[in-house]
Amino acid sequence: MKNNHNHHHHDSVGKESQGNWRAFTDRIPGLVMVFVALYLVWLFFSGHNQYYINSGYFMFNFLMGGLLLLVAAASLFIPVKGISLRSLAPLLVVLMLGFLLPPQPLSSATASNRSVNVGAAGNAQEVSPLLKVNPETLRIADWVRLQNYEADYSRFIGQRVDVVGFLFKAGGGAVFSEENFMVGKFVITCCAIDASPLGLEIENSDLTGNLKQDDWVRVKGEWKVVEKEGQSYMVISADFMEIVPRPSSPYE
Amino acid sequence: MERLQDTLTIFLAIMVEATPFVVLGVLVSAVLSAFVKDEWLLRLRTNNRFASHMISACLGFLFPVCECGNVPVMRSLLAKGFSVSQAVSFYLGAPILNIVVIATTMAAFEGSPVVILGRVIGGFVVASTVGIILSYHKNSNSLLTPATIVMCEEDHSHDRGLKYLTSHSFVRRFLTEFFSMMNLLIIGAAIASITQLWIPRDFVFGLASVPILAILSMMVLTVILSVCSTVDAFIALAYSSQFTPGALVAFLVYGPMIDVKAISMLLTTFKPRAVAYIVFLVTMLTILISLIVTMLGY
């Protein structure tokens, strides 16, 4: 009798733990969704969003992350059967990549694989204020706009330039593409997928002798105009280059 | 090393940009499917051959389903008494002509209205034209599989398509759609980010510089990727610096209508011969529209 009772007891524990296990596995999809939502929210608060998307989407991403968190939390109380756990594996891998690896902005590898400086030509409205300010306050994107807008580069000769960007070697379209660095920044309109590199050429980029691609630098110098195959190019004749920490917002 | 790191950054950028739109798309479709009543759809039917197919192509504004979810909706429209050709117009049009997809396309291609318009107008033209052509078929029910015909006859007046929004059905629907869309998005984002950094620039530019090659390669790519139309604009964006708007329009119009997954789902409803006919018409019309966009000089 006692034996029998024990046996019975053991059996029900087994069923119960099996039931507990089910109850757990049915909640795994919801749990994965909680982590997806937390990833979106974490990107917002950590500022890592800006390595991936244009700041115009920060708030939208945060709100959708919050909504997802609500649904995911609700799904922990309403377990859904029939979602295969194997189908969650790809998403788990992505979450690990996103959470565990240090986020990095795009680098020279992308800059060299895309056409540099193809950004829309500046229009008069955008450009004319740029002509009135102290040239040393202009950023890389401003200079690219000016170059695209002004046909006659001679007015820039001798003007001072003082910009911060990263160093890369252009894949093509630059006068000194082989031997010299460009100093550049990416401009993103939607997200890093459409990043297009803006770059300014430096004539004597080995000024300090120990700079390499992807170093963030501050470059000071003077503009000069170089003729090559009937075309004129604006290049910086640098007199000061120094490594600086990567700015907190890496794109324009 | 930098190249590997950039591949990861672009991959995560697609995921981070697209995931909130997946959430929005699943939410909107779950909520609307609970509130839009089927009788409204029947009231929208007209006897005018042209108008009725144009309206069917635009029903996605009421049922914002991407191609993952619209075969079941198409089957329920057939059961409600829609003609075969109208159902096809709905099936082809809905994944493009709906609010969420238009919003993501506008987000991705903010600076190039020709891509946005090309997708919307092209999708509308293809979806309604294929339906109108099919409507001249003498016995269009013969295009359906026998099982579908039985379903339509049994189901004619029932209100089975109308689902009430219970918390359980909502959560269930949300999770199922969310995970199936995310898995396809992950594959698409992986391929897009890898081709961005590991295929030599000159090869891609060579392909992109011949219009018809560019269009065909974008169509093959979109069939392979099978990314949900809600977020495929962000994948297309990865190719926007090399490919012409015409080729991008081919990607954005063809992808939602034809891919491996959609074809296998279509075969549950249509006979193989009919599916082949639909695929052929869509392919030809997409090429035509993309060539027109290319020739307009964009």
pTM for the predicted model, two decimal places: 0.81
Contact A175, A233 (CB under 8 A): yes
In this predicted structure, the answer to whether residue B42 has a pLDDT above a threshold of 60 is yes
Q: Which residues 195-224 of B are in CB contact (within 8 Å) with A?
A: 196-197, 201
Within 8 A by CB and 6+ apart from A204, the residues are: A180, A237, A238
Residues A85 and A29: their CA atoms lie apart, in Å, by 7
Q: Highest mean pLDDT: which of A17-21, A246-250, B65-69, B284-288?
A: B284-288
Distance from the B248 Cα atom to the nearest Cα atom in chain A, whole angstroms: 14
Of residues A112, A116, A110, A108, the one with CA closest to residue B197: A110
Instruction: Render pLDDT for A137-183 as a digit per residue (tens, 0 to 9).
Output: 888 888 888 887 777 888 888 899 999 999 988 765 555 556 678 88
Instruction: Render pLDDT for A77-121 as a digit per residue (tens, 0 to 9).
Output: 887 777 888 889 999 999 999 999 999 999 888 887 776 654 444
Strands A196-202 and A182-187: antiparallel
More confident residue, A192 or A71: A71
Q: Is B106 on the interface with A (CB under 8 A)?
A: no
Instruction: Render pLDDT for A181-211 as a digit per residue (tens, 0 to 9).
Output: 888 899 887 888 878 788 888 887 776 678 8
Check A91 against B182: CB less than 8 A apart: yes
Contact B99, B28 (CB under 8 A): yes
In this predicted structure, the answer to whether residue A12 has a pLDDT above a threshold of 60 is no
Chain A residue numbers touching B225 (CB-CB < 8 A): none
ipTM of this model? 0.85
The secondary structure of A222-241 as a DSSP string is EEEEEEETTEEEEEEEEEEE
In this predicted structure, the answer to whether residue B158 has a pLDDT above a threshold of 60 is no
Per-chain mean pLDDT for chain A: 82
Residues A26 and A80: their CA atoms lie apart, in Å, by 6
